[in-house]
Structure 1
Amino acid sequence: MSKTLDSLYRSQATIYKYILYFAAIGCIVFFFPRGGQFKYEFQKGKPWQYENLYAPFDFSIRKSAEELAAERQAIEQEQIPYYRYESDTAREVHQDYEAQFPNFFPQSEFSPAQWARLGRKGREMIDSVYSRGLLEEGAVPKSTEVYLVRNNEASRVPAHTLLHPGEMEGYLGRLVSQKREEPFAAAYRSLLLRVLKPNLVLDKGLMERELQNRLSGISLTRGSVDEGKLIIAKGEVVEAENLKVLESLKAEYESELWSVRNTYFIQAGYTVLVALVLMMLLLFLKKYRPEVYRNNVNVTFIFFNILVMVFLTTLVVKYDQAMVFVVPLCILPLILKTFFDARLGLFVHVLTVLILGFVVPNSFEYIFLQIVAGIVTILTVSELYKRANLFISVGQITLIYILGYFAFHVIHEGNLDNIVWVTFGYFLLNGMITLFAQPLIYIYEKMFGMVSDVSLLELSDTNSRLLKELSNKAPGTFNHSLQVANLAEAAANEIGANAMLVRVGALYHDIGKMNNPTFFTENQTTNINPHDDLDPQTSARVIIKHVLEGIEMARKNKLPDRIIDFIRTHHGTTLVYYFFKKAREADPEGIQEEEFRYPGPIPFSRETAILMMSDAVEAASKSLVNPTYPIIDEFVDRIVGGQMQAGQFLNADITFKDIETVKKVLKQRLTNIYHLRVEYPE
């Protein structure tokens, strides 16, 4: 039982990767559409490259979105407005008329018969207006006919028979003339315009219901194709008619109705393909990026980003396929290049695009554009901590999208007609969202404990609180760290390692010396040495303790783990040789090496190995007296050779060639530091 548990404990990293692998497959397949996938790729204007295609079953030819939109527009334009007849309006107007009539026609100025006649003529004119119908302001119909709704019955009448508010004055003038009451025209006009009210009101609710009824009656199909009928022959150009038939057949394949019987087979097919893609990713990491593969946080980070992109893309496709290019897929290689390297970023980007090819429409066009955009991202994004570089790179990515889409449209259509200009807006929106990479990098750093060049640049500021404290408490150690940083950065640049990471690691590698600065020779400004009063074992413990105290101090100040790694490994498992030798001289038999050996671990990357070499060489170089070229050459070879002989670089992915290059850089830099010149002959 204990052996089994021990085996499981040793294999926990591998078990975690298996769990992550299968969980990622399940999530991705879950995001995928439930329908089938049409097995043929076709594009308008391109010849059919497969065998003759016959209808596998009966299906209807679906109308295109443009056809349906045209039918809806035609129905909306042809709609006849509905006006509701308000029967109470005429009665109210007559009452107002009777009340206002004496004000315009004083009874004292007319005989009773004349006054009664004038009142009757006015009432007749009101009845004449309402017999035709008076529209409300702003409700003038654009159609030639309208529906009048009276007592819940609609009757169709010519629109010109209705009176508009703007033509009332002229119409009243004609009525007065017909009544032969021209002398009283002004009085009638003033009175009637004051009391008349519209009795025809536009019934928007009824119109909307009628419109929806007509729109719901639009057929989504036009005609059908019988099973066994030839749809398209090999070599035939995919054009307007057969394109619609092919698109209808594809829609049938991908619809849920068609896939009900085949759901499990379809899901199984998706699972196998996604599993193959993710397996290629793990194999790539294991073979070419073993340091990334060994770190489960890094593997989780990569899989998490793939899942996020797949989720966002499938979500957008379900909402509106036309907006698929709004998803900022180029953020993926951009972020992976920031945290890892360009090759890994591009590889993951290509695999993600291949997975999304199952989801998006026009998969060939999508895959082509996204891969090209990903390559441009990798080639153009450098030094992301410089804000201008990100803006320039995003501009280039957006331009590639626009040019690629434009070229595909010309290929498909053969001209610039029917180009969807809003797609260019989607590309611009994509670019603006890609600018979110900067804050997203910061979020990822906090979530996964990773470190980017942006954070490294901030940490390299010697005015930061921790480095400022180091310079105040241990100025000699601070100057030593600066020298080591310069040496290590130059060496890293020469062999292609992460120079920024090495420099920051070098700046912080000795922060543990702040607790006991005078116990280290670089901080001793007088001839008093605290070690003179201590035995070699105690002195060694004080020296060794600066590594552990540095780790605690770094964690307290929330330095990234990748920087703490430099503090842990910069002495590896080497001996504090000076005190070990001193102890051996005093007691050759009773001294144990373990008391004088650093706890480790040994360096496990090129960057940490470079720091170990640079730190040892810079510290020991202070003992050189009258250095010359041969002395420096032999000195560096001896220091680095001793580290190699002690097996300090066995876990670091650094080659003998790299080590020789680092030694060469260290020799050149030390030569420059000591200002050696060629001796001129006398």
Structure 2
Amino acid sequence: MKNEVQMKGKFHYRLSGWKYSTALRVILFLLLGLIFYTSLYAKLVPQVYDIQLGTKSEKTIYAPRQIENAVATEQAKEDAAKRVQPVYRIVNLKNDIMLDAIFDKLLQINSDEEVKFDDKVSIFRTVIPQMLSDLQSQAIKSLSISGQYNDPLLEQIQKGLAEQSYPLPEEAYFKLPRLTKEDLADMRPVAKDIVGKLMNDQVLDAQTARAKVAELVNTSKLTKTLSREMVTEIARTLITPNKFFDQKGTDDAKGQARENTKPIYINKNDVLVKAGDVITEEIYARLDKLELLKDKANHLPQLGLGILAALLSFVVFMFVKQSKLQLAYNNTQLLMLVLIYVINILGMKIISIIQNVEYPYVGYLAPAAMGSILIAILLDAPLAFISSVIFSLMSSIIFNTEHEQLFDFKYGLVTLVICFSAVFTIQRASQRATILKAGFMIAFFSMLTITSILLMEDHFEQREVLFSLAFAAAGGIITVVFVIGLLPFFETAFGILSPLKLVELSNPNHPLLRKLLTETPGTYHHSVMVGNLSEAAAESIGADGLLCRVGSYYHDIGKTRRPSYFIENQTNIENPHDRIDPNLSKSIIIAHPRDGVEMLKDFKMPKAIRDIAEQHHGTTLLHYFYHKAKKLVEEDNSDKPVREEDFRYPGPKAQSKEAAIVGIADSVEAAVRSLRNPTLEQIDSMVTKIIKSRLDDGQFNECDLTLKELDIIAKTLNETLLGIFHSRIEYPSEVAPKKNE
């Protein structure tokens, strides 16, 4: 019967099948990958619609991301090109050189008295036009050689000179031979002054400039009528256009205007087509460019997103697999991890809904560090760091509004910094006030990182700075609010004992601890001592020291039901066990773990604390009462057998390292206090005997304590026991067990 009870207890404390199920673990990791996929789908894979050209749209379609409006941009470019004024080039054709050449020729021929008048007329009619043509050709050739003028412009110059030329009138050729040397000397400076003055202006229409010649001649110092007439005609001949239309320059200017025109964008969530609108070629092309057409959908982004989601899930899987956490085999905690991911990603997605191109910095409001804090408190700090990297990667995608690249490093960097700072702050948290401190750290480092980014970009606006910093500060506060609100839910729903919860339970003002102190002060003091011993021993082998300490405070709470039957509470009173049968004493003593569990359940204490209270004695033997019962049977010469099984605790045996350590510390503290003036050798011997006795008795068979860890525990207990003194009865030399615990 006893063996049957022990077997039931053993299997009762084994995790149920679904918690160990490999298939369920695979499903949970696949679910995590699906969460990554669905949360990023809207950002990386555009929605498609079954739309045909020329039909009416059945629904209003919004732009999934910012896209250039090609038609509007092209129209803006054309408008900019039309606003470009024609480009003209001012050309120096060296008209002053032509003028000197003509006067030199007139002086040469008129000075030659051997040439007859008619011959002079004939020479001037032939030579002067040819001379002007040659000089203009030479000027154009020099322009071409300089390389500053393109061929179309040179052709335009030749054409302009030809179309706007002014040949000397026929009667002028008969008047030129009559000019004397003195006349020519008076005429040259006047003509040069008039031509130079008119050619200094931009001359597009030579005829307009030539109309001013007569007035300038009349205001000159020339007095002879002939001289005036000839200066007028020669000046008109030498006045040519010097401003020419540059087709290539104009085309280049228009091209530059087109290039300088900023693209016109259709912003995210702008209406592409309203319900009932006819799908025109322009709308159809726009939908096609956005990959919104079902018949032309590109499935490569879906494949890429699937690979990315699988990689992120694989990273979490490999870290969990190689960790030594309960998460590596406990599907309950894995489910909690998945739920934390869901909540954190959901928080980011909600903020992204109110984010737009005009207010992109709303993304800094997201409680992106909430998941990292919860993981650090409830599970493991290294896992929180790995999750922080994943959250930052997802943040850079979810809050990306520009869509020029897949990731916006600004949001990813800010998320990474605040998550890391939060985990560093919270990983050793012992009070809930630490969460508030983490919120301030999130706000501070978020603002600091944003400031760094804005300074490096060096083109920020005051409005952008103020809003970014304000949203960053608010994000820290929102994160704290959510963490404080969600933490009790996870602690209760998943039976997680966070360090913060354990510290709260260790408060001496807790009703159970106050009851223990007031009704059983000896047991209270014993529990505190056991807590100190077990915490040191647990930390020495990497177990949960805080859980051991708090569990020790409550492990003997069942003694408050019958406090006077436990020796540490028997102050100036008779020991009631001296007057009753050892079987009754045994029943009272072994009832205190069960009574303690019932009391802890009534106060809704976490299961880990209840397990320590129930398992700290395991199935150990009550040596004192067992030997007392045997002695009474021998004295009465009775044939009634005294079975050892009847004097053992009902168990179960310790199922965790923490429960086993508390059990060792409980026995050691009680045994050492039974010694008078204990020495180091006595303590060492006592600790070794107790651990060996429990090991030989199979009390560690159902937990994962190793021999090496037991040796470390023994050394740690020896180092912390010398200062403990408490009056206890001497135990039989067999093991020195407790009399009535």
Please tell me whether the aligned partners of residues 277 and 355 of structure 1 are also in contact (alpha carbons under 8 angstroms).
no
Q: Which residue of 2 aligns with 1:61?
A: 68
Please tell me whether the aligned partners of residues 33 and 312 of structure 2 are also in contact (alpha carbons under 8 angstroms).
no
Please tell me whether the aligned partners of residues 19 and 330 of structure 2 are also in contact (alpha carbons under 8 angstroms).
no
Q: Which residue of 1 aligns with 2:505?
A: 459
Q: Does 1:579 align with 2:625?
A: yes
Whole-angstrom distance in 2 between the partners of 1:253 and 1:548: 72
Q: Which residue of 2 aligns with 1:313?
A: 348
Q: Which residue of 1 aligns with 2:613?
A: 567
Deviation at 1:545, TM superposition (A): 1.9
One-letter amino acid of the structure 1 residue matched with residue 68 of structure 2: I
Whole-angstrom distance in 2 between the partners of 1:285 and 1:537: 50
- Decide which moves more: 518-527 or 636-645: 518-527
One-letter amino acid of the structure 2 residue matched with residue 438 of structure 1: I
Deviation at 1:28, TM superposition (A): 4.4
* Superposed CA offset, 1:194-245 (max 9, x none): xxxxxxxxxxxxxxxxxxxxxxxxxxxxxxxxxxxxxxxxxxxxx9979989
- Decide which moves more: 444-453 or 466-475: 444-453
* Superposed CA offset, 1:593-621 (max 9, x none): 44333333333444333312211111112
Please tell me whether the aligned partners of residues 35 and 254 of structure 1 are also in contact (alpha carbons under 8 angstroms).
no
- The one of 469, 483, 489 equivalent to 2:535 is 489
**Pairing of 1:81-160 with structure 2 (within 5 A):** none
Q: Does 1:547 align with 2:586?
A: no
Deviation at 1:508, TM superposition (A): 0.4
* Superposed CA offset, 1:361-413 (max 9, x none): 134333333223222222223554546644443333323222323333444x3
Please tell me whether the aligned partners of residues 35 and 253 of structure 1 are also in contact (alpha carbons under 8 angstroms).
no
Q: Report sequence identity in percent.
A: 30
Please tell me whether the aligned partners of residues 291 and 297 of structure 2 are also in contact (alpha carbons under 8 angstroms).
no
Q: Which residue of 1 aligns with 2:131?
A: none
Partner of 1:558: helix, strand, or coil?
coil
Deviation at 1:357, TM superposition (A): 4.8
Closer, same or farther: CA 668–564 of 1 in aligned 2, 3 Å:
same
Q: Does 1:425 align with 2:470?
A: yes
Q: Which residue of 2 aligns with 1:30?
A: 38
One-letter amino acid of the structure 2 residue matched with residue 440 of structure 1: L
- The one of 667, 672, 682 equivalent to 2:718 is 667
Q: Which residue of 2 aligns with 1:346?
A: 385
Please tell me whether the aligned partners of residues 369 and 419 of structure 2 are also in contact (alpha carbons under 8 angstroms).
yes
Whole-angstrom distance in 1 between the partners of 2:377 and 2:345: 21
Closer, same or farther: CA 573–62 of 1 in aligned 2, 3 Å:
farther
Deviation at 1:560, TM superposition (A): 1.4
Closer, same or farther: CA 595–320 of 1 in aligned 2, 3 Å:
same
Whole-angstrom distance in 2 between the partners of 1:669 and 1:613: 14
Q: Does 1:303 align with 2:332?
A: no
Whole-angstrom distance in 2 between the partners of 1:663 and 1:367: 49
Whole-angstrom distance in 2 between the partners of 1:538 and 1:16: 48
Whole-angstrom distance in 1 between the partners of 2:614 and 2:261: 69
Deviation at 1:627, TM superposition (A): 1.6
Partner of 1:478: helix, strand, or coil?
helix
Closer, same or farther: CA 403–60 of 1 in aligned 2, 3 Å:
closer
Whole-angstrom distance in 1 between the partners of 2:489 and 2:300: 39
Q: Does 1:521 align with 2:572?
A: no
Deviation at 1:506, TM superposition (A): 0.7
Deviation at 1:305, TM superposition (A): 0.8
Whole-angstrom distance in 2 between the partners of 1:243 and 1:539: 91
Partner of 1:635: helix, strand, or coil?
helix
Partner of 2:68: helix, strand, or coil?
strand
Closer, same or farther: CA 280–645 of 1 in aligned 2, 3 Å:
farther
Closer, same or farther: CA 325–664 of 1 in aligned 2, 3 Å:
same
Closer, same or farther: CA 620–295 of 1 in aligned 2, 3 Å:
same
Q: Which residue of 2 aligns with 1:470?
A: 516
Deviation at 1:468, TM superposition (A): 1.9
One-letter amino acid of the structure 1 residue matched with residue 563 of structure 2: P
Partner of 2:523: helix, strand, or coil?
helix
One-letter amino acid of the structure 2 residue matched with residue 445 of structure 1: E
Please tell me whether the aligned partners of residues 551 and 612 of structure 2 are also in contact (alpha carbons under 8 angstroms).
yes
Q: Which residue of 2 aligns with 1:645?
A: 696
- Decide which moves more: 464-473 or 534-543: 534-543
Whole-angstrom distance in 1 between the partners of 2:594 and 2:703: 21
**Pairing of 1:406-445 with structure 2 (within 5 A):** 406-411=451-456, 413-416=457-460, 420-421=464-465, 422-436=467-481, 437-445=483-491
One-letter amino acid of the structure 2 residue matched with residue 600 of structure 1: G
Q: Which residue of 1 aligns with 2:312?
A: 277
One-letter amino acid of the structure 1 residue matched with residue 667 of structure 2: A
Whole-angstrom distance in 1 between the partners of 2:295 and 2:395: 23
Q: Which residue of 2 aligns with 1:366?
A: 411
Please tell me whether the aligned partners of residues 440 and 476 of structure 2 are also in contact (alpha carbons under 8 angstroms).
yes
Partner of 2:464: helix, strand, or coil?
coil
Q: Which residue of 1 aligns with 2:155?
A: none
Please tell me whether the aligned partners of residues 573 and 598 of structure 1 are also in contact (alpha carbons under 8 angstroms).
yes
Closer, same or farther: CA 240–570 of 1 in aligned 2, 3 Å:
farther
* Superposed CA offset, 1:454-505 (max 9, x none): 3322321223221222223323222211221222233345555443322211
Q: Which residue of 2 aligns with 1:292?
A: 327
Closer, same or farther: CA 353–573 of 1 in aligned 2, 3 Å:
farther
Deviation at 1:302, TM superposition (A): 1.3
- The one of 369, 374, 390 equivalent to 1:335 is 374
Please tell me whether the aligned partners of residues 557 and 596 of structure 2 are also in contact (alpha carbons under 8 angstroms).
yes
Please tell me whether the aligned partners of residues 391 and 416 of structure 2 are also in contact (alpha carbons under 8 angstroms).
no
Closer, same or farther: CA 252–641 of 1 in aligned 2, 3 Å:
farther
* Superposed CA offset, 1:132-159 (max 9, x none): xxxxxxxxxxxxxxxxxxxxxxxxxxxx
Please tell me whether the aligned partners of residues 33 and 359 of structure 1 are also in contact (alpha carbons under 8 angstroms).
no
One-letter amino acid of the structure 2 residue matched with residue 542 of structure 1: I
Please tell me whether the aligned partners of residues 654 and 699 of structure 2 are also in contact (alpha carbons under 8 angstroms).
yes
Whole-angstrom distance in 2 between the partners of 1:254 and 1:348: 36
Whole-angstrom distance in 2 between the partners of 1:472 and 1:299: 42
One-letter amino acid of the structure 2 residue matched with residue 610 of structure 1: I
Please tell me whether the aligned partners of residues 35 and 259 of structure 1 are also in contact (alpha carbons under 8 angstroms).
no
Closer, same or farther: CA 659–366 of 1 in aligned 2, 3 Å:
farther
Instruction: Give me the TM-score of the superposition, normalised by structure 2.
Output: 0.56
One-letter amino acid of the structure 1 residue matched with residue 366 of structure 2: V
Instruction: Give me the TM-score of the superposition, normalised by structure 1.
Output: 0.60
Closer, same or farther: CA 343–10 of 1 in aligned 2, 3 Å:
same
Deviation at 1:324, TM superposition (A): 2.1
Deviation at 1:304, TM superposition (A): 0.7
Whole-angstrom distance in 2 between the partners of 1:310 and 1:634: 56
Partner of 1:599: helix, strand, or coil?
coil
- The one of 552, 556, 567 equivalent to 1:510 is 556
Please tell me whether the aligned partners of residues 484 and 614 of structure 1 are also in contact (alpha carbons under 8 angstroms).
yes
Deviation at 1:572, TM superposition (A): 2.4
Please tell me whether the aligned partners of residues 34 and 263 of structure 1 are also in contact (alpha carbons under 8 angstroms).
no
Whole-angstrom distance in 1 between the partners of 2:18 and 2:336: 20
**Pairing of 1:366-385 with structure 2 (within 5 A):** 366-381=411-426, 384-385=429-430
Please tell me whether the aligned partners of residues 414 and 446 of structure 2 are also in contact (alpha carbons under 8 angstroms).
yes
Closer, same or farther: CA 365–13 of 1 in aligned 2, 3 Å:
same
Deviation at 1:423, TM superposition (A): 1.4
Query: How many residue pairs are counted as aligned between the two chains?
Result: 470
Whole-angstrom distance in 2 between the partners of 1:384 and 1:509: 24
Closer, same or farther: CA 327–668 of 1 in aligned 2, 3 Å:
same
Whole-angstrom distance in 1 between the partners of 2:698 and 2:288: 63
Partner of 1:617: helix, strand, or coil?
helix
Whole-angstrom distance in 1 between the partners of 2:497 and 2:264: 51
Q: Which residue of 1 aligns with 2:443?
A: 398
Whole-angstrom distance in 2 between the partners of 1:643 and 1:507: 22
Whole-angstrom distance in 2 between the partners of 1:272 and 1:541: 63
- Alignment RMSD: 3.9
Whole-angstrom distance in 2 between the partners of 1:365 and 1:284: 27
Whole-angstrom distance in 1 between the partners of 2:37 and 2:67: 30
Closer, same or farther: CA 409–597 of 1 in aligned 2, 3 Å:
same
Larger Rg: 2
